Structure 1
Amino acid sequence: MIHFKRVNVPFETSNQFSQLFLDYVSESEKIAALYSFPPTASGYNQAANSLQYNEVIRPVLIDVIKEQYAATGISASEKLLNQLAAVGALTVCTGHQLCLFTGPLYFIYKICTTIKVAEEQSRLLGKNIIPVYWMATEDHDFEEISAVNIFGKTLKWAIGLTPNEKVPKGAVGDISTDSLDALLAELKILLGDVEESQQLYELIAKAYRPGRTLTQATREFVNELFFDKIIIIDGNDKKLKSFFRTQLKQEVEWQQSFQFISDSILQIEKLGYVSQVNPRRINLFYMQNNFRERIVEKEGIYNVLNSAIFFTKEQLLLEIENSPEKFSPNVVLRPLYQQIILPNIAYIGGPGEIAYWLQYKTMFDHFKV
C-alpha cells in the first residue's frame, strides 16, 4: 500500500507568486487602499451588505441563462435558477477561457473553489449565494486555447495548418467542433481502457461532438461535471449587453477606464509593485462573424483595426445603441461588465487575475459596483 503525506507549502516560499499577490493574501496594510473588501469572512459580509445591484437586470439574466442552456440542448439546475431569480440573491463568480477540454487543471480548481466559497458564505451570511462560471467566449486568441496537456503529451487542435484553412480571428466561442474528430480519437487512446477514463472520454466526446460551437461544448461538459453546483453564463448576448450600453458609450466619449486604470497603475508602482495590465485609450473590440478587432480613435474618427470599418463619434454611439452585441470589452472592461450583470460579491481568480483586479477599484467605485 502506498502512503501519502500532505505537505503545506507557504505561498511566500514557493517562489511562484508576485509580491503584490502575497501582500494581498496576507492582508498587508500596504495595499489596503487597492480594494474595498478584504478576502475574509467580514469582507464577504461587507460586500454583501454594500452591493448596489440593478434588480431590473435579474429577470432578464434568468431568461438569458435558460435560453443559452436550451440552445445547447441541456437544462440548468432548477434549484440554482430559482435561488438566483429571487430578489436579493447574490453570486460568487469565476471566469476562464474556453480552453480545449477545459485545458489546465487550474480551470477545474477555480470552479471547485467558486462552489465551495458560495456554499460557505451562504451558510455564514444566511443568504442564497449562487456560484457562477462566466465563460470567456469572446476572446479571439485561438492559439491560447487550442491545446491541452494530458499525461505529458500535448494535444493540439489543428485549425489553420493547411492552405485552405484560416486560423479563427473572431470570438473563439463561435468556432465549430467539426474538426475535432481526429483529436478525440487520439484522446481516447491516450486515456486508456480504465473504466473511469472511458467515462470521462464519453462525456468529452458527447460535449464536443460535430455540429456544436466551442461555447456549447464547453457549457455541456462543465454542466456534466458540476450540474447542480454551478450556473454557466455567456456574456456574449444582446439582452445582457443592452444593460452595458451606458458604460460602452462613456468609454467612447470620455475614455474613463483609461484614466482610472492609469491612476491605479501609478499608485501600484509607487508602492513598489509591477502593474499587471496596461489600459488602452479605448478598451473595446468591434465584433462580427469571425472578426474581433480593436477600436482606435484618431482625429475624431473611430477606426476598427485590420478592416475598412470606421465611424464618426455620432455613428459609433448610434451603433452601440442599436447593436450593443457588436461591442466586446477587453480585459479592462470585462470585469466591469460582469459586475454590472451579476449581483456579485466576489471573484475567484488566480494570482495574475487578482493582480489586475487590484487595478480596478477606482473604476468600480465610479460605476458603483
Structure 2
Amino acid sequence: MNVTTHPQPKASDFYSTYITKFNQVENYFAYPWGETEWERRFQELRFSEERRGMLVEAIQDSMKTVSLSTSQKESLQLLSEGAAVTITGQQTGLLTGPFYSIHKAVTAIDLAKQITAKTNKPVVPVFWMAGEDHDILEVNHFFIEKNRDVSKLSLAVEQLSTEMVADKQIDAQELRGLLSQAFHELPETAYTKELWDFLVTLSEQHGSYKEFFLQAFQHFFKNYGLVFINSSDQGMRHLGKPFTKLLIERNDQLRRAVYDAEQRLASEGFGFPIQCRIENAHLFYVKDAHRYLLEATETGFTNKELGQSWTKQQLLDEVEMNPECISHNVVTRPLMQQFLFPVHTFVGGPGEIAYWALLKDAFEVMDLKMPIVAPRYSVTVLPNSIEKKMQDLGVTVEDAWAGHLPSQMHAFIDAQKNEQVVASIREMNAWLDAKYEELQSTLHEESIKIDPLLEKNKALHKRQFTFLEHQIEDVYLQRFDTHVAAYKAIENELVPTGSLQERIYSPLAYLNKYGFGLIDELLAVPYKLDGKHYVVHMS
C-alpha cells in the first residue's frame, strides 16, 4: 500500500476557503482547526463531571446489543475518569452508507490518538448515529458498477414519511435480493463468501437501520476504542432533558443568532448552508415516532401539519414529563452533543462544516464554547487494476477529478481515425454549404425568395451527415472498445456520477476485494490534519 496526497478535489467555495485560507472565515469558528489549538481547547473545555457516570451508562445502553471489546471498555473507563472526546456522526445508511462514513470513524479514532500523544491528555473517539433523522431516501440505497455504468439499488419506499429512520425495519428478503444483484456484478474473491454471510446474517438478525449499522461498525472498529451512541435512544434523551428545556427557553436568541450568521455568510458569497427562516425553532416535536418541525410564534411554538400549538411553558412541561417528545436538527444537534459530551474536536465533512459556521454565536447563547471543528480525512481507495489502466492511458487522478476523461477518451479515438475519412466528411459538408449558397444566389436573381425552405432542406441533409458521422464514430468506439472500457472503468472508480468515490459508493465492493482487513489498512495510513485528499494505492 502506497499513499499520495493531493489538494482537496471538488471542494465548494466555502470548504476550499476553510481548508486553504482559514483566516478569511475564522470569525465563524472558535478555534483554527490545526493541532496548534489542541492544548488551548483542553484549557477552555468545560463539562459537568457529575454527568460523566450517567453519560457512560447511556453509551452502554446504546451499545447493549454488542459485546464491548477491551479497548471499548478502556474508552468508557477513561471517559468516566475525565477524558475528552473526538466526535463524529452519520445517518444509519444501508450497508453503512457512503464510504465517507468509514472515513469519519477513521478520523475520529486517529485524531483521538494524535491529540492524546501530543497533549498527554486522554481522548476517546465517539460515533454519533443520527437515529433521529427521518429522510428515508437518504439511507435506503447503495450504488454498484454495472454494465459500465453506476447503478443505484434501493429498498422500496411506499411513501415519504416523517417517521424517524433508525428503528425502521429493513426487509431482510428484499435486502437479500439487492445483495444478490450486487454480488452478481462483483468478482468472486477470497473474501466474497465471508462478506456475503456477514451481510445476510446482519440483515436477518439485526433488521433495523440502526442495529444493522451498529453491528457493522462494531465489527469494523471494536478494537480501536470507538464507542457509539444513538441520538434517539431513551437514555440520551433523558440525559439531555435539562438542555432541551434550555433550548426552548432561549429559542428566540438562538434563532436570531443562527439566522444572522447565515445572512452574514451569504453576504460574503458563501451562500445559505441551511436556508433557515427566522421562524424555524430548530426543534422537532415527536409523536408516534414521527417528527414535526416546530416554528416559533409570539406565544410559543406551533406545527401546522399537526394543527397544534404550545406556549413555551406548555412545551417545557411536556419535556419535563417526556423528554423524548423533542428531537433536534442540524443546528441544535451540535449544541446537544457539546452538552452531553466533553467534546474536544468535532469531525465533519464539507457540508457539515459549512453549517457549523453558523453556530459560534449559538453556542454562546447556550453558555457553551464551540469545539475545534476538524475536517474529516478525505480518501480515495485506488485499486491496482484501475491504476494500471491509468498508467497505460496516461491518465491522472487530477484528470478524473477535473472531468477531463470523456474529452481525453474522444481525443484518443480521434487520434486513431483515418484522416481521409474525417477530411471526406468535412469536404462533403463544405460542398453542401457551397451548393446551397450557389442555389440561393441563383434563386435571388430570379426573384424567388424561398430562403426558409432552403435552410430547412439543407438542415435535413446536414442531419444525414451527422448521422453518418455518428455511425462512423460508433465503429471506431467498437474497434477500440478495450480502451473505451478502460476510460469508463477509471471514471466509474474515481468520479462515479461525477462525484468523489467516497460520496457515492458504500464500502461493499472494496470489502469484497480486500476483505475486512481494509479497515485496518485505512487506519494504518499516516494521516496528517492538513486538509489534503488521500489516495490509498492498493496492491
> Same fold judged by TM-score > 0.5?
yes
Whether 2:169 is the aligned partner of 1:171: answer no
CA contact (8 A) 1:188 1:198 kept: no
Aligned residue in 1 for 2:325:
326
CA contact (8 A) 2:66 2:218 kept: no
With structure 2 as the length reference, what TM-score do the two structures score? 0.62
Aligned residue in 2 for 1:163:
none
Distance change >3 Å, CA 150–CA 57, structure 1 → 2: farther
- 1:339 CA displacement: 1.2
CA contact (8 A) 1:251 1:283 kept: no
Whether 2:184 is the aligned partner of 1:194: answer no
- 1:6 CA displacement: 6.2
Distance 2:368 2:124 in 1: 21
Aligned residue in 1 for 2:155:
157
Whether 2:211 is the aligned partner of 1:216: answer yes
Aligned residue in 2 for 1:51:
45
- 1:254 CA displacement: 4.0
Ranges in structure 2 where 5+ consecutive residues have no aligned partner: 370-539
| Counterpart selection for 2:32 from 34, 38, 46 | 38
Aligned residue in 2 for 1:275:
272
Structure 2 residue identity aligned to 1:31: V
- Judge which range, 20-29 or 135-144, deviates more: 20-29
Aligned residue in 2 for 1:245:
241
State the SS of the aligned residue for 1:175: coil
Aligned residue in 2 for 1:262:
259
Aligned residue in 2 for 1:80:
75
Which one has a larger percent helix, Structure 1 or Structure 2?
2
Distance change >3 Å, CA 250–CA 90, structure 1 → 2: closer
CA contact (8 A) 2:42 2:344 kept: yes
Distance 1:66 1:58 in 2: 12
- 1:344 CA displacement: 0.8
Distance 2:26 2:265 in 1: 11
Distance 1:5 1:86 in 2: 39
- 1:192 CA displacement: 4.8
Aligned residue in 2 for 1:235:
231
Aligned residue in 1 for 2:410:
none
With structure 1 as the length reference, what TM-score do the two structures score? 0.88
Distance change >3 Å, CA 259–CA 243, structure 1 → 2: farther
CA contact (8 A) 2:54 2:239 kept: no
Structure 1 residue identity aligned to 2:260: D
- 1:188 CA displacement: 4.2
Residues 109-147 of structure 1: CA deviation (Å, up to 9, x unaligned): 111111111111111111111111100111000011111
Structure 2 residue identity aligned to 1:329: H
Distance change >3 Å, CA 124–CA 258, structure 1 → 2: same
Distance 1:53 1:293 in 2: 31
Aligned residue in 1 for 2:314:
315
State the SS of the aligned residue for 1:173: coil
CA contact (8 A) 2:84 2:123 kept: yes
State the SS of the aligned residue for 2:49: coil
CA contact (8 A) 1:177 1:210 kept: no
Distance 2:352 2:301 in 1: 30
Distance 1:185 1:316 in 2: 48
Structure 2 residue identity aligned to 1:294: L
| Counterpart selection for 1:183 from 172, 178, 187 | 178
Whether 2:60 is the aligned partner of 1:66: answer yes
Distance change >3 Å, CA 146–CA 288, structure 1 → 2: same
Distance 1:245 1:171 in 2: 19
| Counterpart selection for 1:28 from 8, 22, 29 | 22
Distance 2:300 2:90 in 1: 33
Distance 2:116 2:337 in 1: 21
- 1:106 CA displacement: 1.2
- 1:283 CA displacement: 0.8
Aligned residue in 1 for 2:363:
364
Distance 1:336 1:264 in 2: 16
Structure 2 matches for 1:111-130, cutoff 5 A? Answer: 111-130=105-124
CA contact (8 A) 2:55 2:239 kept: no
Distance 2:285 2:203 in 1: 28
Bigger relative contact order (CA 8 A; separation at least 6): 2
Aligned residue in 1 for 2:354:
355
- 1:79 CA displacement: 2.0
Distance 2:48 2:288 in 1: 31
Distance change >3 Å, CA 309–CA 182, structure 1 → 2: farther
CA contact (8 A) 1:294 1:305 kept: no
Residues 145-188 of structure 1: CA deviation (Å, up to 9, x unaligned): 1111123332211231xxxxx55531100101234343344344
State the SS of the aligned residue for 1:311: strand
Distance change >3 Å, CA 296–CA 28, structure 1 → 2: closer
Count how many residue pairs are aligned between Structure 1 and Structure 2.
Answer: 356
Whether 2:189 is the aligned partner of 1:204: answer no
Distance 2:350 2:195 in 1: 29
- 1:317 CA displacement: 1.3
Structure 1 residue identity aligned to 2:268: L
CA contact (8 A) 1:191 1:198 kept: no
- Judge which range, 245-254 or 275-284, deviates more: 245-254
Distance 1:312 1:318 in 2: 10
Higher Cα Rg, which structure: 2
- 1:191 CA displacement: 4.1
Residues 196-233 of structure 1: CA deviation (Å, up to 9, x unaligned): 23322333222222563211111111000111221111
Distance 1:29 1:5 in 2: 33
Distance 2:62 2:244 in 1: 23
Residues 277-314 of structure 1: CA deviation (Å, up to 9, x unaligned): 23343111111334111122445363334224443333
